[in-house]
Structure 1
Amino acid sequence: MPVPRELSPTTTRSGVDVYRIPIQPADIALLAGHPTRVRTYAGQFVGPTIRARTGRPVRITFTNQLDVPSNVHLHGGHVPQRSDGHPMETIAPGQSRSYDYPNNQQGATLWYHDHAHHLEAENVYFGLHGFYLIEDDAERGLGLPSGRYDVPIMLRDAQFDTNGELIYTEHPPDRTTILANGEVTPHFPVAARKYRFRLLNSANERIFRLTLGGADLTHIASDGGLLPAPVRRSEIVLGSAERADVVIDFSEHPVGSQLVLYDVSGPVLRFDVTREASDTSQVPDTLRPLPALPPATVERDISMKFDLSGANPVGLVNGQPYDPNRVDFRVKRGTTEIWRVKNDDVEFGIPHTFHMHLEQFRVLDRDGAPPTPDDAGRKDTIFVAPGETVRVQVTFTEYLGTYVYHCHYLEHSAKGMMAQMKIVE
C-alpha cells in the first residue's frame, strides 16, 4: 500500500505556508497492467497530503487543467466563507483560485475534495480527494505514534470495465472493488510496534464496517480530532466522509504475523509484521477532554428525502431542492443550536449521511437513545439510517457568511439534497 506523498510548501511568506497544486488528468494503474484515466490533484490519485499546524495559516492555489469546472472544499475546515469551496464558486478550466486556511482549530484528520455543484460526485469519484492533517502542540506532546508511524489511509470503492477504466454511473450498486490509498487489497509491511492509522471513507456512497480479524482497534480520534480517552473497539463504522484515527500495536503479534483489515464485503488491507523495532510512543489514558456544551437557544429540524415522482430523482432538504439564491436558515453568530436531522426516505430505505460546513458538532442522541461509539467526539459528518433522527448540538463562532449543509452521499447532493445557512451578526 502506498502512503500518499506529503507536499512541502512552495514558499513561506510572513508566516504563511504557500502551496501550488494543479488539478489535472493523469493515467494511473489502479488495476495491474491497466492504466486508468483519472482526475487528480498534482497527478496523484490520492492527492498530496498537506500537514498543517494549528495557528499557522496555509494558502493553496489550485489551477484547473481539466476540461470541466472544479473547486475545492476543505472538509472539516473552520474557514472564512470565500475559502470554503462553496458549490457555486467554481474554477473554470484554465483558471486558478487561492484558498486561505487559518488553521485556528485543534489537530484533526481533515480532507480536501471537489465540491462543484452537479459535478462533485463525478469529480470525487474520478480522484479529486486528498488528506489535510492539522497538528497541534498539545497533541504532539502526548507521545502518540508519529512520523513514518502515522499513516493516512483513504478507503473507497470503484467499478472498472474490462480495460481498467473507471465506470461512473449515478446509481452505484456495482462499485464492488475496494481501494486502500488507490490500491486493490494491498499489503503494508509494519514493524512490531504501535502505528497510528488515519482512516477516511472517501467513497461517494458507502458504509465501511471495519474489523481487524478478531484483534482490537484502539480508537483515539474522530472527524474533529482526539477523543477524551482511547476506546478499544472490535469494529469501526464509517459512513461516507467520516474519519476515525486508530492505533494498532503490532508488538502484540510475532514477526511473520499477518493481520487483515476487513469490511463486511471482504478483505481491505493486509498488515505484514516484518521486523522488530524500538517504540517510545504511547497511548495515554487521557487524550483531550471535551468542553462542556453551552446551553442551546435555538432548535431546528432538517429532513433529507428524495422526490421520486418524476423521471429523475430530486434530492430535497426540508422538502426543497437546493437553490443557491435561497437562504434556508439565518443563524446568529455566537449562538448554540440543536439540529434534529431526520432521514425521511423510509419507503425505499435510502440511507444518507449529513455534513455541515464551517463548524464541528456533538451528537446528543439517536432516536432518543445514547449516541453510538462512532458518534463520539467532535463530528462534522454522521450517518443517518432511513427513518432515524439524530440530534446534534453546534456553536457558531467567528465567521460570517453563507455555508451549505447537505447529504454527503455525493450523488444525493449533486441532485439537490443540499441547503444553505447564513451566519449573521
Structure 2
Amino acid sequence: MTNTLSNKQGLSRRDFLRLSGLGALGALAGSALGLPSPAKAWGRTLTGLTEPDVEINLRAVIGQEQIRSGLPTTVWRYEADLVKGPAGTVQPLPNTYLGPILHFQPGQRVRIHFTNTIDEETIVHWHGLHVPEAADGHPRLVIGPNETYVYDFEIMDRPGTYWYHPHPHGRTGPQAYYGLAGLIIISDGTEAQQGLPTGAYDLPLVIQDRTFDGQNQLVYATNMAGFLGNEILVNGQPNASLTVEQTTYRFRVLNGSNSRIYKLGWPDGAPFTVIGSDGGLLDAPVQRNYVVIAPGERVELLVDFSRWPAGSVQTLRSLAFAGAGFGGGGSTTTLPNGSDYEIMRFRIEAQDTPTLTPTPTPSPTPTATSTPPTLSNPTYMPLILNGAGANGSASRTEPRLDFQADQAQPQQATRTFYLYVQFGQWTINGRTFQMEAVAPDETVELGAQEIWEFSNNFPNGGGMGGGMPHPMHIHGLQFRVVSRQAPTNATQRSNWETVKDGYVDGGWKDTVLVMPGERVQVQVEFKDYTGLYLYHCHNLEHEDMGMMRNYRVVQPNRA
C-alpha cells in the first residue's frame, strides 16, 4: 500500500543552531491557553502529588513545512505549550516538522495533556523513559480525533537523550514517518562541570530518510522489509550543512528512521569519541572508527573539529555494510540499506580561543539490591552493587570501560525470544501481536532480574533470504547488553563483521540491534511498576506487521 501525504540546499549556521536549540533556548513561557477538556484521562496519580512540577499541553496536528524548494510539504507534527514549569522546558524548533525538544530534570513530576487533532487514532510513547503502565503509550490506550489523554509520571531516568513518538498498533510506521516525533533531553545541570560541550556546541542530530513525489509530498509504502526513503534529512532538512569552529562538539544522534540502519563514519577514518548511548553517559569514553545505530537507538559523540584544517569541509557519511536485508521502500529506493551515502557536511572555521578536550564522567543515580547468584560473572557480567543504576534503579553495574559483548561469556538465559518469519508474518517465538494477550513465558515478577536472549538465527537465519536485522526495544526500562554470539553461517558471519566494531554495548540501552544469525543477551530488571508493557522490533514496519508482544509485570508469587 502506498500513501501520499500532503529544499532547502543546506541550513545557515544561525538556523542550524536555532534548530539544534541548545545554543539559545527559545522556549515558550507559561501558556495563557486553558487546559483542554479531557475526553479520556488516564495515567497514574503520583503518590502525594497535589501539583506537578511541569505541566504541558501537547498536540498532534496536521500542518505544512517548507522542506524542499518549491511547494510546501504536508506533515503531521507535535506542538506544545508550557503551562507550568521552568522556562526552557518546551523548546520549539524552527524550520522543521519535528516536535519541540522537551527538557526535563531527574525527580520532576510531569503532567502532559495530549490532544489528538489528526484524523485517526494515536497515542504517545515516551521512548526510553521508566514510567507507569498507564503512561507508557500502549496501543490499547489510543485516543480518537479531538480526544485528550492525560499522562502523569515522574522523571526517574539518568541524564541523557530520549525521544517521543506515536504508538498505535498498525499505524506507528506511517504516523512517525509523516512527522510525529520529538526529542527529550534529561539534564541534571552537571554537563558544564563535567567539561562537556554545552550551548551552541551541544547539537542534537535527528537522522531520518524520506521520499517525496513531484509535488513535494511525502510518499509512504508499506513493505515487508521496512520502508526506505530516497533522501536523508537531518533535523527535518535535506542536504544538511553547518559551519563549525575548530573545537569539540557534542552530537546527540537519534536514528529516527523507520527501518534504515546507519553506519556513521568520516571518509578519512577519523575516530569518534563515544560518550553516551540510549540511557545516558557511558562509564568512560570509548573510541570507534565508525558507529552503527539502528532505528530507535541514540548515541552521543564528541567530535573534535580541530583535527581538520580551517576552511575544509568534512562530510559525515553512512558507510557501506552488508547484511541489511532485502529490498525496502518498495525496492525503488535510490539509497539501499547498507550503501554508502552522505549524511551531513561541516564547514570548519578557525576558532580564536582554543578549548580543552573534555573528559566526561558518568552521571550519578540512586542505590541498590543484591544480585541473584545466576546473574554473577566476574569477568564480563555487569555486577549489581550498591550504588547507581538506570531508571532511578536501586542498583548499578561495575564500570565497563570498553565492553566488547562479542567477547563476553554467554549467560544462562531466563527467556529466549526467536525472531523470524512464519506464514508471511514477522513473529517473536512464532507469535504476533494481540492487544492484551500475554503468554505464560511473558509474565515476570516485580523485582526480578533476568537475562533475556534475542535469537535471530531460527529458522534459517530468520527466514527471507538469509534474514533481516531486528532492533529490539523493551518498554519501561533500561537494560545492559550481556553478550553477543556471532553468526555461525559463513555468509552471515561475513556480513556481521562489517558492523560489529561499531556497536556501543557498554552503556544503558533500551534498544539493541540483532543482526541476521546473531544472538544477543541483555540483563533486565523489573522495578517500581506492575502492569502491561511492550517489547518489539523497532523496524516500524515489522512492528506494525505484528513483530511486537506484551510482557506483564506482576507482584511476586502471582506470576
- Smaller-chain TM-score bracket: over 0.9
Given the superposition, is the C-alpha separation of residues 174 and 333 from structure 1 closer, same or farther in structure 2, using an over 3 Å criterion?
closer
CA distance in 1, matches of 2:350, 2:359: 25
Cα deviation digits, residues 190-210 of structure 1 (max 9, x gap)? 122211110010111011001
Counterpart of 1:354? 472
What aligned pairs does 1:193-342 form with structure 2 within 5 A after superposition? 193-214=247-268, 215-264=270-319, 265-278=340-353, 282-284=357-359, 286-287=361-362, 294-295=371-372, 296=374, 299-307=414-422, 309=423, 313-328=424-439, 329-342=442-455
CA distance in 1, matches of 2:501, 2:448: 23
Secondary structure (helix, strand or coil) at the match of 1:131 reads strand
User: Shift of residue 8 of structure 1?
Assistant: 4.1
Moved more, 124-133 or 97-106: 97-106
Paired letter, 2:435:
P
Paired letter, 2:317:
Y
Q: 1:399 aligns with which of 501, 519, 529?
A: 529
Paired letter, 1:415:
M
Cα deviation digits, residues 109-146 of structure 1 (max 9, x gap)? 10000101111011001111110011124555312011
Q: Does structure 1 residue 28 correspond to structure 2 residue 141?
A: no
Q: Does structure 1 residue 158 correspond to structure 2 residue 158?
A: no
Cα deviation digits, residues 246-290 of structure 1 (max 9, x gap)? 011223333322111101331110111234254656421644599
Q: Is the 8 A contact 1:229 1:286 kept in 2?
A: yes
CA distance in 2, matches of 1:74, 1:394: 19
Q: Does structure 1 residue 178 correspond to structure 2 residue 232?
A: yes
CA distance in 1, matches of 2:227, 2:176: 17
Counterpart of 2:4? none
Paired letter, 2:154:
P
User: Shift of residue 419 of structure 1?
Assistant: 0.7
Q: TM-score, length-normalised on structure 2?
A: 0.71
Cα deviation digits, residues 178-223 of structure 1 (max 9, x gap)? 1111111211121222111100101110110011232222110000
Given the superposition, is the C-alpha separation of residues 281 and 53 from structure 1 closer, same or farther in structure 2, using an over 3 Å criterion?
farther
Secondary structure (helix, strand or coil) at the match of 1:42 reads strand
Secondary structure (helix, strand or coil) at the match of 1:124 reads helix
Counterpart of 1:388? 518
Q: Is the 8 A contact 1:75 1:357 kept in 2?
A: yes
Secondary structure (helix, strand or coil) at the match of 1:198 reads strand
Q: 1:135 aligns with which of 187, 193, 202?
A: 187
Given the superposition, is the C-alpha separation of residues 195 and 38 from structure 1 closer, same or farther in structure 2, using an over 3 Å criterion?
same
Secondary structure (helix, strand or coil) at the match of 1:77 reads coil
Secondary structure (helix, strand or coil) at the match of 1:33 reads coil
CA distance in 2, matches of 1:110, 1:353: 16
Counterpart of 1:10? 30
CA distance in 2, matches of 1:281, 1:245: 18
What aligned pairs does 1:31-110 form with structure 2 within 5 A after superposition? 31-42=68-79, 44-110=96-162
Q: Is the 8 A contact 1:112 1:132 kept in 2?
A: yes
Secondary structure (helix, strand or coil) at the match of 2:156 reads coil
CA distance in 1, matches of 2:194, 2:289: 24
Counterpart of 2:505? 375
CA distance in 1, matches of 2:107, 2:501: 31
CA distance in 1, matches of 2:263, 2:502: 14
Moved more, 137-146 or 28-37: 137-146
Moved more, 97-106 or 397-406: 97-106
Paired letter, 1:336:
Q
CA distance in 1, matches of 2:445, 2:354: 49
Percent of aligned pairs with the same residue?
35
Q: Is the 8 A contact 2:275 2:360 kept in 1?
A: no
CA distance in 2, matches of 1:165, 1:32: 12
Given the superposition, is the C-alpha separation of residues 327 and 42 from structure 1 closer, same or farther in structure 2, using an over 3 Å criterion?
same
Paired letter, 1:182:
G
Greater percentage in strand: 1
Secondary structure (helix, strand or coil) at the match of 1:47 reads coil
CA distance in 1, matches of 2:190, 2:293: 26
Q: Is the 8 A contact 1:156 1:178 kept in 2?
A: yes
RMSD: 2.5
Secondary structure (helix, strand or coil) at the match of 2:140 reads coil
Moved more, 415-424 or 268-277: 268-277
Secondary structure (helix, strand or coil) at the match of 1:82 reads helix
Q: TM-score, length-normalised on structure 1?
A: 0.92
CA distance in 2, matches of 1:353, 1:93: 31
Paired letter, 1:184:
P
Q: Is the 8 A contact 1:23 1:65 kept in 2?
A: yes
Cα deviation digits, residues 375-398 of structure 1 (max 9, x gap)? 221111011112221111111111
CA distance in 2, matches of 1:140, 1:61: 32
Given the superposition, is the C-alpha separation of residues 179 and 83 from structure 1 closer, same or farther in structure 2, using an over 3 Å criterion?
same
User: Shift of residue 21 of structure 1?
Assistant: 2.0
CA distance in 2, matches of 1:373, 1:413: 23
Moved more, 133-142 or 220-229: 133-142
Counterpart of 2:549? 419
CA distance in 2, matches of 1:279, 1:101: 42
Q: Is the 8 A contact 1:11 1:17 kept in 2?
A: no
CA distance in 2, matches of 1:404, 1:14: 29
Paired letter, 1:39:
W
Given the superposition, is the C-alpha separation of residues 281 and 424 from structure 1 closer, same or farther in structure 2, using an over 3 Å criterion?
farther
Paired letter, 2:437:
R
Moved more, 174-183 or 293-302: 293-302
CA distance in 1, matches of 2:30, 2:428: 41
CA distance in 2, matches of 1:411, 1:279: 47
